[in-house]
Structure 1
Amino acid sequence: MNTKQLFGASMLVAALGGGAIAQQTDGQYVQVAEIEIDPTQLDAYRAAVQEQIDAAIRKEPGVLVLYAMSEKDNPTHVRVFEIYRDRNAYEAHLGSDHFKKYKATTEKMVKSLKLVQTVPIMLGAKSK
Structure 2
Amino acid sequence: MQPIFNIFKLKVAENHVEKFFQIGQTNFNQSITKEEGTLAMYLTKVDDQQTFCVVEVYRDAMAYQAHVTSSHFKDFATFAQDYIPYKERVELIPQILYEQEQPVQEEDLSSLFVRLISVRVKESREKAFKDELFDVVNQAKDTKILYAGFVADSPNTWYIIDISSTENSIVAAFLEQNASIEQQVKQNFSLLECVNKGNLRYRAVTEKEAKCH
Give TM-score scaled by structure 1 length: 0.73
Letter in 2 for 1:119: I
Letter in 2 for 1:123: L
1:50 to 8, 15, 25: 25
CA distance in 2 between partners of 1:100 and 1:127 (Å): 31
Give the structure 1 partner of residue 9 of structure 2.
34
Contact 1:48-1:106 at 8 Å conserved across structures: no
- What is the 5 A alignment of 1:42-121? 42-71=17-46, 73-121=47-95
Q: Which runs of 4 or more aligned residues in structure 1 lie more than 3 Å from their structure 2 counterparts after TM superposition?
A: 125-128
**Which is richer in strand?**
2
* Residue 81 (structure 1) shift: 0.4
* Residue 62 (structure 1) shift: 0.7
**Which is richer in helix?**
1
CA distance in 2 between partners of 1:64 and 1:125 (Å): 10
Give deviations 1:11-62, integer Å, cap 9, x for gaps. xxxxxxxxxxxxxxx6101111111111211111111101111111111001
Contact 1:37-1:111 at 8 Å conserved across structures: yes
Give the structure 1 partner of residue 98 of structure 2.
124
CA distance in 2 between partners of 1:63 and 1:70 (Å): 22
CA distance in 2 between partners of 1:77 and 1:122 (Å): 26
Letter in 2 for 1:42: V
Letter in 1 for 2:77: K
Give deviations 1:54-107, integer Å, cap 9, x for gaps. 111111001001111111x11211111000000111011110011011111332
CA distance in 2 between partners of 1:78 and 1:45 (Å): 10
Structure 1 residues 106-115 or 42-51, which shifts more?
106-115
Runs (5+) with no aligned partner, structure 1: 1-25
Contact 1:70-1:79 at 8 Å conserved across structures: yes
* Residue 125 (structure 1) shift: 4.1
Contact 2:39-2:58 at 8 Å conserved across structures: yes
The size of the alignment, in residue pairs, is 102
State the structure with bigger RCO (CA 8 A, min sep 6), 1 or 2: 1
Letter in 1 for 2:33: R
Contact 2:4-2:94 at 8 Å conserved across structures: no
- Please provide the CA RMSD for this pair: 1.6
